[in-house]
Each structure stands twice: as C-alpha cells, then as structure tokens.
Amino acid sequence: MGVVWGASFLFMKVALDGVSFGQVAWSRLVFGGLTLGLIVLATRPRLNNGPVLPREGVVWLHFLVIALTGCVVPHLLFAWAEQYVSSSLASIYNAVTPIMTAVMVTAVFRVEKLARDQVIGVLIGIMGVVVIIAPWQYSELTGDLWGQLACLGAALCYGFTFGYTRKHLSGRPIAGTTFAFLNIGLAGVVMLVLTPVLAWQPVTLTMPIVLSLLTLGVLGTGFAYIWHINVLRAWGPTTTSTVTYVTPVVGVLLGVLVLAETFSWHEPAGAVLVLLGILLTQKRLRLPLAVPRTAS
C-alpha cells in the first residue's frame, strides 16, 4: 500500500500534463470502481453466508459518506494541489494522516483514547506542518500556499474517514472486497454524476499519461483499497494509518529521481517533526517518565 500510494503522487503529476485535475480524480475513482466491481462480480465474496451486498439502507448511507470524505474530496484536493506544489511535497503532507486520524478518533468519534505521549506526538506533528508550510515566507495568499492547504485538507479528510469507518462500519459483517467496492464504487458513481463539471474538458493523451491514469485507477484505487480495508479491519484506524510512514519516502524518491524536484530546508525539517509526532502517536516511541525529586 505504501509503495503504490507513494507512487500515486508521481502519476498524478505526470497525468496533469495532459488532463485537468478533475479528470485525474475522475479517472482514479471510475477505473477503480470498475476494477473492484469486476472482482466482486467474479468472486461474490460473503461473510457467514450473508448477502454479497448489504441490504440495510443506513449502511449504504454510511458508505456514501466515506466515499465522499475518503475518496471524492481528498482525491480532488490532491490533484488540484499538485498543479501548484511538487509531488514530493504532496506525499509529505499525506504523511500527516496519522496525526489527523489520532485527533479524529479521539476528539470527534471517541473510539480511542490518547495517552500523554500521543498528545505530545499530535502537538509535535502540528509543529511539523507549520514548519513545512513556512508561513514566514508568504506575504500574500499564493497558489503554492493554497496548494499546501489543499494537501492538508485532504489529510484531514482521510483522518475523518478512518474514524468514521471505525465507528460505523468496521464491525459489520461485510467482506473486505465488497467493502472496498462499495467505498470506491459509490465514489465513482458520484464522479460520473459530476462528469459535466469535472471531466468534460479537452485532453491531450500520451502513453505516459494514459498509463498513469490506468495505474492510479486499477492499482492505486482498486487493488490497494482491498488491502487497505483488510488491514484496517485487522489493526484498527490508528495503526493502519501508519502506511504513511512509507508513502512520503516513495513519493519523495520518485519526485527527486524522476521529476528532478528539489526542496527548501524547511520541508524535510518539518517532515522529520511530523515523523517524530507519528512515532509518538502510534506508540512506536516513548518519552521517559518524569523522575520525582527526592528530599535531600
């Protein structure tokens, strides 16, 4: 998942040379939904001899919510942002997802509690985001700044979706493949409805652009979501969001090696703070306990 989603930032950047940001997001979700639909049709997965697709209307409503907050909105935001920021920087912002997830599952959905070190990790992660944005270098609202804020908004959407899924859907008897199909498939339907607005512009297609769009859809938004749902249900939202340890490493390496992207000092410095915050939030790193003073 980390390798596939890390590479997706490169593919989005390549695709934007010939299609609009809306067409990038449209292609991801429509191709991904078709891929998962074919898999469900061929395998007809069931849990405990239940139906292939859920029958309760409220379940479909929950899936529509996560289709919007976990797919439609963040995919549009990232694709729009990459018109103004590098693919490397976008992948770094994606790493903020565990910080956003920790806040959402604790403060909004109340399905997990944060210990002292996790709270400190969230605060350090927020400091890292501020360093990456480097507000001291902006005297006005620029495309680059808006692009960074869009990336941050996408990470917030992912955090919300992790928490919402844990609270309303993770415990339901739905096969992982079906789960992924309903998530991406409904997002694809939304995109089809929005076709006149998002995808009705002229395109310039080359082989790299076509391959990038197909890879984004079939692999990055198709098969990868089956893996994602299975891990989410096995490990929970906070641990699953640690996939973002890998995505920025892959995204930065590909951006630098393939697209010759460069950094300012504050971007890797902020990324280090974000990683430190993630390690604390995920309980991979622990701060020493305060030693009480003894009377002399």
For 142-180, write each residue's pLDDT tens digit: 778 899 999 999 999 999 998 898 888 877 888 888 999
Give CA–CA dist 280/122, Å, rounded.
8
Q: Identify the band that residue 89 occupies on the pLDDT scale cut at 50, 70 and 90.
A: very high
Q: Do 29 and 195 meet the contact criterion of CB atoms below 8 Å apart? A: no
Residues 266-293: what's their mean pLDDT?
80
Give CA–CA dist 18/76, Å, rounded.
16
Mean pLDDT of the chain: 88
Bigger pLDDT: 266 or 34? 34
Question: Residue 245's closest CA among 279, 286, 287, 216?
Answer: 279
| H helix intervals, the chain | 2-15, 21-43, 57-67, 73-81, 87-94, 97-103, 116-133, 143-168, 176-193, 195-198, 207-214, 224-235, 237-240, 247-259, 266-281
- Does 152 reside within a domain? yes
- Does 292 reside within a domain? no
- Does 220 reside within a domain? yes
Q: What is the CA radius of gyration of the chain?
A: 20
Domain enclosing residue 70, as ranges: 1-282
Q: Do 216 and 5 meet the contact criterion of CB atoms below 8 Å apart? A: no
- Does 167 reside within a domain? yes
Residue 31's CB is within 10 A of a number of other CB atoms, namely 22
pTM, two decimal places: 0.89
Lookup: tokens for 151: 């990336």
For residue 122, pLDDT beyond 90: no
- Does 30 reside within a domain? yes
CA angle 199, 7, 122 (to 5 degrees): 100
pLDDT of 133 reads 82
- Does 202 reside within a domain? yes
pLDDT of 293 reads 58
With pLDDT > 90 as the criterion, what percentage of the chain qualifies? 50
- Does 239 reside within a domain? yes
Q: Provide the number of structural domains found in the chain.
A: 1
- Does 146 reside within a domain? yes
Give CA–CA dist 147/132, Å, rounded.
12
Q: Tell me the CA distances in angstroms from 106 to 27, 109, 115, 128, 181, one per residue in order.
A: 34, 6, 10, 20, 28
Q: Identify the band that residue 295 occupies on the pLDDT scale cut at 50, 70 and 90.
A: low
